[in-house]
């Protein structure tokens, strides 16, 4: 078995929850896409990131079923672990800012894989949702306090690869921020938290707390 670490990304204010992320620091141990996809499938996390160059921050991201040019929670987790000021993904260079307890990345909305954002009337409606059948990637959300920019969300990848619900999803949060054109604080899943902000040049910043699992 290839060595890997597990992080929890977008933890809540108490340090709990967050979305688990597998990180293979020695990406050279599995150089082919086929082998990387096989390991990501075996580990079963919503995403696994392979570090190809720790100094440059070059990373490669996989779900259990596909390779992703960019994804939010793998980039936030890798940036925290490597302590770099930028990452290099297949989509492009990702800015990084370490801000106290938060690690934040800046990326372009068009890099994010397609998701369907679906607004509900209340946080209670979002919390009561059943997992939809595979098909569309749905980001279900509702305002908790619209004036304050706080949101309740749940994420349903719909890929049919064993990940029925994503505990915390940076790319979807990025897209929702771009759609609403305002900074957000998002409570997702069982108790994860994502913070976002509009930045110059059409960039969206996405950040959160990261902890080593276990």
Please write the tens of the pLDDT for every residue from 184-201.
Answer: 999 999 999 999 999 999
> What digits encode the pLDDT tens for the residues 41-50?
999 999 999 9
pLDDT at site 155:
95
What sign does the CA torsion over 153, 157, 158, 161 have? negative
Which residues face 68 on adjacent strands?
A: 61
Tokens representing 76 are 């936030």
pLDDT band at 7; cut points 50, 70, 90: very high
Q: Look at residue 74 and tell me whether its pLDDT is greater than 80.
A: yes
> What digits encode the pLDDT tens for the residues 9-38?
999 999 999 999 999 999 999 999 999 999
> What digits encode the pLDDT tens for the residues 99-141?
999 999 999 999 988 889 999 999 999 999 999 988 889 999 9
Q: Look at residue 93 and tell me whether its pLDDT is greater than 90.
A: yes
pLDDT at site 118:
97
E strands along 32-77, which residues?
Answer: 47-53, 58-62, 67-68
Distance CA 70, CA 61 (A): 7
Reference 77, options 101, 103, 59; nearest CA is 103
Contact, 103 vs 81, CB < 8 A? Answer: no
pLDDT at site 181:
97
- The total number of residues shown for the chain amounts to 214
> What digits encode the pLDDT tens for the residues 171-181?
999 999 999 99
Strands 184-188 and 150-156: parallel
pLDDT at site 171:
93
pLDDT at site 107:
97
pLDDT band at 157; cut points 50, 70, 90: confident
Which residues face 206 on adjacent strands?
A: 105, 196
What sign does the CA torsion over 16, 103, 163, 118 have? positive
Read off φ and ψ for residue 76, nearest 5 degrees. -60, -45
pLDDT at site 66:
93
Residues 6 or more apart from 145 whose CB is under 8 A from it? none
**Percent of the chain at pLDDT above 90?**
90
Reference 72, options 36, 111, 30; nearest CA is 111
Distance CA 187, CA 152 (A): 5
pLDDT at site 34:
97
Whole-model pTM: value is 0.94
pLDDT band at 159; cut points 50, 70, 90: confident
**Residue 99 CB neighbours (<10 A):** 10
């Amino acid at each position: 078995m290839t060595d890997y670490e597990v992080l929890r990304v977008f933890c809540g204010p108490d340090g709990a929850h967050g979305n688990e992320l597998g990180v293979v620091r020695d990406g050279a141990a599995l150089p082919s896409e086929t082998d990387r996809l096989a390991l990501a499938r075996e580990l079963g996390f919503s995403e696994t990131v392979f570090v190809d160059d720790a100094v440059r921050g070059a990373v490669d991201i996989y779900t259990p079923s596909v390779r992703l040019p960019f994804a939010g929670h793998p980039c936030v987790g890798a940036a925290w672990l490597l302590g770099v000021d930028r990452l290099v993904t297949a989509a492009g260079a990702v800015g990084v800012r370490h801000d106290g307890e938060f690690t934040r990345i800046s990326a372009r909305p068009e890099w994010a894989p397609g998701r369907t954002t679906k607004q509900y009337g209340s946080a209670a409606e979002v919390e009561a949702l059943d997992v939809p059948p595979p098909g569309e990637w749905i980001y279900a959300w509702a305002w908790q306090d619209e004036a304050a920019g706080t949101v309740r969300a749940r994420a349903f990848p719909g890929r049919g690869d064993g990940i029925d619900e994503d505990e915390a999803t940076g790319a979807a949060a990025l897209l929702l921020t771009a759609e609403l054109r305002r900074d957000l604080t998002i409570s997702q899943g069982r108790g994860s938290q994502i913070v976002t902000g509009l930045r110059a040049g059409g960039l969206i910043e996405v950040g959160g707390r990261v902890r080593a699992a276990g």
